[in-house]
Structure 1
C-alpha cells in the first residue's frame, strides 16, 4: 500500500473512532439481523486466572489423546484448536463443507474427548471471515469457492484473493455471510456445548482498503446517502460497526444455542497504528468475554510498553497472545516481562 494512502487510513480511522455510532444502539445493518444486542459482562470469578493456552492446527495423523497428554505435561491449561479454517470444518457440518481429508471422522469430537480425559479446556478456533488461503497453497473446496459472490473487494473492484496478501475473505457486511457465521456458531454450540468459542480473523483483509462488494456499497449508499470511499469517515464507521455487530451476534448465537464456555477473540494488539485497514476496533465489541491481543514482539522492552498500553485500552480481561520460536525471546522471559503489570493469563502461538 502506498505510504500516503496508509497515512490517510490511519487519520480516517482515528476520526471514525470518535464518530462511529454505538453498535448496540441501532447499528447500520438490516433491522432483521440479530447483531444489535447488549450482553452483560461475565462475572469476574468466571474469567479464571493462571491460564496457559496454546493455538493448535489439527493434524489428522496425530493421535488426539497423545497430543492432549503432551500439552498437559507441558503445563498448558487451555487448547485453541482450529475448528473452522480455509472455509471448512474439522467436524461434520450442515453449514460449511468439511475438510476432505477428514471425511468420515469428527476430529473435533476426538479432541473434546481427549481434552476431557486430560483435564484441559477446549476452545473452537474459528477463522470467521478468512475463507480461502492464497492460491499457491493449492487448497480448494471451502465456502468461498461455493460462494465467490460473497468475497470482499478493494476500491478498484479486485477480490481480496487477488490483491493485498491474496487471502480470500468473505465480506462481513453481506447479510448472507453474517447469517452463515451465526449458523456455524449455533451448530457448534448445539453439538459441542462445553467447547468455548474463539473468534479469529473477525476483520477485513490487510494491505489494502477492502469492503467494496457491490451489494455492500449499494447498501451503504442507501443508508447514509454518501459514497463509499477512502476519504469518507462514515464508511470507516460503517465497517467498524459491522465487525462489532458480528462479534455480538456470534456471542448471542453461541449462548442461545447452549454454549457454556467463554467467548474469546484474537485481536490486533497494535491497533490503530498497525493494520488500520482491517477496521478491527475491538474495544467496541460487546459479548466477548476475553480478548487475546496477538502481542508478537521480538523485543522485551517493546513488549513491556505494549502490555501497559493494552491494560489501559481494554475494560475486559486480557490474555496475552505470545509468539515463540526462532527470533523471539524465551517464553519465560516474555512472561516475566509482563507479570509486574498484572498479567497472569497467556496463549502461545508457534509451538511445534
Structure 2
C-alpha cells in the first residue's frame, strides 16, 4: 500500500503538460460539444470494413478510390482505415513519418476521409499503438522511433523485452507501455491524428503486451515497478502482482489516449480492437482466466465499464467448421453483448481472410442477431482463397458481396448511416508534477457531498484521469491535497498538482 503524508505541495495553473507533444487542433474540424444525452442506437446498425496498409489498397489514389467505392457497394457504413502502422503513418500530417512507398504527394488518410464522407460513411483512424518496427519490411527513416529508441539505445530504448533481454516477437518490435517516454510518444502519435484529420473516431489496436506473457522486462520498466511496489529482484512472468501492475500500465495508456482525444475533438468515437483468443467466458470471473486478461494484459471489460471505450470491436477471428471454433465465436459474442450499455457498444470483428464467403455471411448474421455490429477483416484479403493466393482480390470481394447480400435478412446492406450510441460524459484529466518518479501515486475524486466517485493511480508521466463522472463539480484528492473544479460537458483539465516530495511506505 502507498501512503502520501502531508507534505509541502503547491497547486499551479502555469505548469503545462510539458512532456506531451504540443499539437494545435484545427478548430474548423472540431464538432460542437454535445449538450444533451442522445438515446442510444443499437450497435447492430454498424457495418464496418478494415482497410489495412500491409499491402496494396491504400498506397495510391487509384487504390484508395477503388477501396471506398467497393466498400460503398458492399453496403458498409464505417471504414476502419489503417493510419499509424509501425510508428509510421499512411498519412502526411501525423507526428510520425509517412510509410514508405506512397504515391508522391498522396495522403491516404485524407483522401479516404474525403471520399467516404461524401458517401456518408464514417471513418475511424485505426492505429497500432505499440507497433514499432518489422524486420521483414523495416523502416530506415532516421526519424522513425526504432532508429532513435531501438534495441541499441541503452536506457533510452523503448522496446518491450523478455527476461533474457530479447525484443523480437516474430518479426515485430513492440513499444513498452510501462516506459514513461514510450507511453508519452504513443499518446502523442494518436493525438496528432485527431488534431490534424477530420476523423469520426480512433481505434486502438495492439494496445497490450505481445503474446506469451513474458514481456515488460525493460530495465526502465522493472525499475518503475520496484519503486512503486517495493518489490525486489526480477518478478516471474506468472507473478500476479507484476501482471496486475503491467495491466494497469496498459489501461493507463488507454485512458490517456481516450481522454486526450476527447479533449481535442469533442464527440470523437473511441474504439479498441480487442483480443478474444480461444473460447469465450460466461462471466467476468471467467474472463480473468482468459489469455486476453492474464497473458496480453488487456482488461477491455473494465475499459467499457469505466467509459474509456465507446465501441469495442472484438477480433473474434474464428473458423466455423474447425473444431469448436463456431461455438467459441458465439460464446465471445454472448459475453460481450452482456456488457453493452449506452455509450459502450460492441461489434464482432470477423476474419474474412480465414473463411469462405458463406461462413463470413453466417458469422455476420449471428453477431448482428445478438445486437452487435459487424466489422470484416479485411478488404485486401476478403476470403481464405485470396489469403492463400488461389483467388484474386476482386474475385474474392465479389464473392463476399454476393454472400452478404444474397437473401432477405442477410447482414448487408445496412442503413446508409450508423449513429453510434452517444452519452454525455463529464471527464477529468490532470497531472501530478514535481516528482522524479511520478507514477503510482493514488488519486481519488469526490462529489461535493463527499461521495467517492472514483479511485485511480497516476501513470509513469504523472497523468491521472476519470472518464465518466456524475455531477457538475468534482474534488480531486492526492494525499491531503485537494482541488475542486466545475465540470464542463466533455473533458475538464484540472490544474497540475506540484508535489515537492512523496514518501512511499510499503506494508
Q: TM-score, normalised by structure 2?
A: 0.57
Q: Does the alignment pair 1:54 with 2:49? A: yes
Query: Relative to structure 1, is the Cα distance of residues 326 and 202 closer, same or farther in structure 2, using a 3 angstrom cutoff?
Result: closer
Distance in 1 separating the partners of 2:68 and 2:115: 6
What's 1:347 paired with?
375
Greater CA deviation, 44-53 or 61-70? 44-53
Distance in 2 separating the partners of 1:86 and 1:247: 18
Q: Name stretches of at least 5 consecutive residues in structure 2 with no aligned partner.
A: 2-16, 21-36, 151-156, 278-286, 321-325, 381-507
Greater CA deviation, 222-231 or 148-157? 222-231
Alignment of 1:201-212 (within 5 A): 201-212=206-217
Q: 1:283 touches 1:313 (CA, 8 Å); kept in 2?
A: yes
Name which one, 1 or 2, has greater alpha-carbon Rg: 2
What's 1:25 paired with?
none
Give secondary structure in 2 for the equivalent of 1:123: strand
Higher helix share: 1
Distance in 2 separating the partners of 1:179 and 1:325: 34
Structure 1 residue ranges, 4+ long, deviating more than 4 angstroms after superposition = 31-34, 46-49
**Residues 294-316 of structure 1 deviation map (CA, whole Å, 9 limit, x = unaligned):** 11111233322222222235653
Q: 1:325 touches 1:351 (CA, 8 Å); kept in 2?
A: no
Q: CA RMSD in A?
A: 2.6
Q: 1:65 touches 1:115 (CA, 8 Å); kept in 2?
A: no
- What displacement does 1:105 show? 3.0
Partner of residue 276 from structure 2, selected from 261, 264, 269 = 269
Q: 1:283 touches 1:314 (CA, 8 Å); kept in 2?
A: no
What's 2:367 paired with?
338
Q: Does the alignment pair 1:172 with 2:198? A: no
- What displacement does 1:101 show? 2.3
Q: TM-score, normalised by structure 1?
A: 0.80
- What displacement does 1:238 show? 0.8
- What displacement does 1:264 show? 0.6
What's 1:127 paired with?
128
Query: Relative to structure 1, is the Cα distance of residues 130 and 194 closer, same or farther in structure 2, using a 3 angstrom cutoff?
Result: closer
Give secondary structure in 2 for the equivalent of 1:124: strand
What's 1:282 paired with?
300
Query: Relative to structure 1, is the Cα distance of residues 341 and 113 closer, same or farther in structure 2, using a 3 angstrom cutoff?
Result: closer
Query: Relative to structure 1, is the Cα distance of residues 45 and 33 closer, same or farther in structure 2, using a 3 angstrom cutoff?
Result: farther
What's 2:262 paired with?
255
Alignment of 1:1-352 (within 5 A): 44-45=39-40, 49-58=44-53, 59-61=58-60, 62-93=62-93, 95-102=95-102, 104-133=105-134, 135-141=135-141, 142-148=144-150, 149-159=157-167, 161=168, 164-227=169-232, 228-258=235-265, 260-270=267-277, 272-274=289-291, 276-285=294-303, 286=306, 287-299=308-320, 300-312=326-338, 316-328=344-356, 330-343=359-372, 345-352=373-380
Q: 1:193 touches 1:259 (CA, 8 Å); kept in 2?
A: no
* Number of residues of Structure 1 aligned to a counterpart in Structure 2: 311
Q: 2:273 touches 2:314 (CA, 8 Å); kept in 1?
A: yes
Distance in 2 separating the partners of 1:318 and 1:44: 16
Q: 1:165 touches 1:207 (CA, 8 Å); kept in 2?
A: no
**Residues 220-265 of structure 1 deviation map (CA, whole Å, 9 limit, x = unaligned):** 1011011433243221111111111111110111111125431110
Higher strand share: 2
